[in-house]
Amino acid sequence: MKRICPFCKSELTASSHYFCEYCGSELPEELYLKPEEVVSDKAFSPNSQGVKISEKHTKTKGDTAVNKISREISIRSVVGGVLIGISISTIILLAIQTDFLKVLSNGAAIKKPQATNVEKPYNTEPVNLSETETKENYRDLGLDLQSGIFGQRDVYSYVPYDFSLYIEFSDPETLDPYFSFLGGEFFTLAGSLKDKIHPSYSAFYMKKGLSSGWVLLVFPKDTSFEFSGNNDITVDKEGDALLISYEPELIDQAKLAKSEIEKNMLIHPSFASVKNILPKEGQVFLLKKQGDGDIVLDETIRNTLSEEFKSILNSFKESGDSYLVIK
């Protein structure tokens, strides 16, 4: 059966198995030369027919498939190589930039800041006075007063950062005689409270805006205890403490200090510098802020009606220091 190339219309010989020997086109499947139609290579060799066939025309279909796969592998290799090159270049660039930043920062590696120490509570162990402070800061006035542990019930956290003078007592019997200068209404209130509160109580003086005055901090033995003031004196509760003052705004400042919305005395330099050397207990602890603290101290010495309290305040003034412990 004659085979005619559908592309160049040439008659195909035994040399055209899958491709036209003349135009090189791939033949349709029905024109493939079947094995039983092929005679000996010698009879139909290109030399015996005198036909010169190029290497292109003698390639098989299998050869073409192999070439396609080889080309695909080559393309993938090139693309892969390009991507690897880009990745390596990016890493090198980042390394160079990092080294450059280190040079700008004087070659010091950037380290994560270490957490600072959390504020520690004041010292709860007795202090040997000879190893810490002079006797000017610790005085025995021979007073017939109770002694107690300082800083109970987290009292310092109630005192606003802007305090002028802070005094801590360990004997509730001192409440009304020491602060009777605040007026008759306070004297009456103090008298009704002293049997219902814990021995330790505190008082601080501060000025805020147009308001200035004393705020007393007492701690009822019964935490459910409720006590209201009167028209002039405000009594408010915050945590376990009762806050007493003629100035409601100052009570608000104490509540803000306790809730840590505002800063409190714990981080004030005057207290922070001595809190770790304070003795565990004593009769009275006094702390002042330089400047307005001295003014308030002088005013209180003039105003108090208690000679005992006046002797404590005068001892504090004579010490010339920012704090004093009466033991």
Return the pLDDT at 232: 82
Letter string b/e over residues 132-158, b meaning 16 or more CB atoms within 10 A of that residue's CB: ebeeebbbeeebebeebebbbeebbbb
- Whether residue 108 is predicted with pLDDT greater than 50 in this model: the reply is no
- Whether residue 50 is predicted with pLDDT greater than 50 in this model: the reply is no
Q: Find the length of the chain.
A: 327
Q: For residue range 30-42, what is the model confidence (pLDDT) as tens digits? A: 887 776 665 444 4
18-32, 35-49, 70-84: range with highest mean pLDDT = 18-32
Return the pLDDT at 47: 47
**323-326 and 138-139 beta bridge pairing:** parallel
- Whether residue 165 is predicted with pLDDT greater than 90 in this model: the reply is yes
Cβ atoms of 39 and 14 within 8 Å: the answer is: yes
The encoded tokens of residue 138 equal 């610790």
Q: For residue range 134-157, what is the model confidence (pLDDT) as tens digits? A: 566 899 999 999 999 999 999 999
Cβ atoms of 271 and 287 within 8 Å: the answer is: yes
If pLDDT is split at 50, 70 and 90, which confidence band does 97 have? Answer: low
The encoded tokens of residue 314 equal 């005068």
- Percent share of the chain, pLDDT over 70: 72
What phi and psi values does residue 71 have, to the nearest 5 degrees?
-65, -40
Spatial CA neighbour of 216 closest among 206, 203, 229? 203
Which tops the pLDDT comparison, 73 or 10? 10
Sequence letter at residue 303: N
Name the least confident of 32-41, 108-117, 197-206, 222-231. Answer: 108-117
Spatial CA neighbour of 123 closest among 242, 271, 7? 271
Spatial CA neighbour of 217 closest among 281, 262, 264? 264
Return the pLDDT at 227: 67
If pLDDT is split at 50, 70 and 90, which confidence band does 109 have? Answer: very low
Cβ atoms of 157 and 266 within 8 Å: the answer is: yes
Which tops the pLDDT comparison, 292 or 127? 292
Q: How many CB atoms lie within 10 A of CB 57?
A: 19
Q: For residue range 179-212, what is the model confidence (pLDDT) as tens digits? A: 989 887 887 887 788 888 999 999 999 999 999 9
- Does residue 229 sit in helix, strand or coil? coil
What phi and psi values does residue 84 have, to the nearest 5 degrees?
-60, -40
Please enumerate in sequence order all residues whose Cβ is within 8 A of that of 12, keeping only pairs 6 or more positions apart, or say none: 2, 3, 4, 5, 20, 21, 27, 31, 33
Please enumerate in sequence order all residues whose Cβ is within 8 A of that of 226, keeping only pairs 6 or more positions apart, or say none: 237
Which tops the pLDDT comparison, 104 or 7? 7
Cβ atoms of 161 and 264 within 8 Å: the answer is: yes
If pLDDT is split at 50, 70 and 90, which confidence band does 113 have? Answer: very low
Name the least confident of 95-99, 288-292, 298-302. Answer: 95-99
Distances (CA, A) of 85 to 75, 90, 247, 273: 15, 9, 75, 61
- Whether residue 88 is predicted with pLDDT greater than 60 in this model: the reply is yes
Measured distance CA(210)–CA(212) in Å, rounded: 7
Return the pLDDT at 46: 46
Measured distance CA(244)–CA(136) in Å, rounded: 32
Measured distance CA(254)–CA(246) in Å, rounded: 13
Q: Read off the pLDDT of each residue in 220-239 and give the average, rounded to a whole number.
A: 79
Spatial CA neighbour of 151 closest among 275, 313, 309? 275
Measured distance CA(81)–CA(73) in Å, rounded: 12
- Percent share of the chain, pLDDT over 90: 41
- CA torsion through residues 264, 270, 271, 272, sign: positive
- Whether residue 117 is predicted with pLDDT greater than 60 in this model: the reply is no
Q: For residue range 250-283, what is the model confidence (pLDDT) as tens digits? A: 999 999 999 999 999 999 999 998 988 888 899 9
Which tops the pLDDT comparison, 225 or 322? 322
Cβ atoms of 262 and 159 within 8 Å: the answer is: no
Which tops the pLDDT comparison, 239 or 109? 239
Return the pLDDT at 56: 44
Average pLDDT taken over every residue of the chain: 79
Return the pLDDT at 28: 85
- Does residue 177 sit in helix, strand or coil? helix
Q: Read off the pLDDT of each residue in 162-168 and give the average, rounded to a whole number.
A: 96
Write 94-100 long-range contacts (CB < 8 A, 24+).
Answer: none
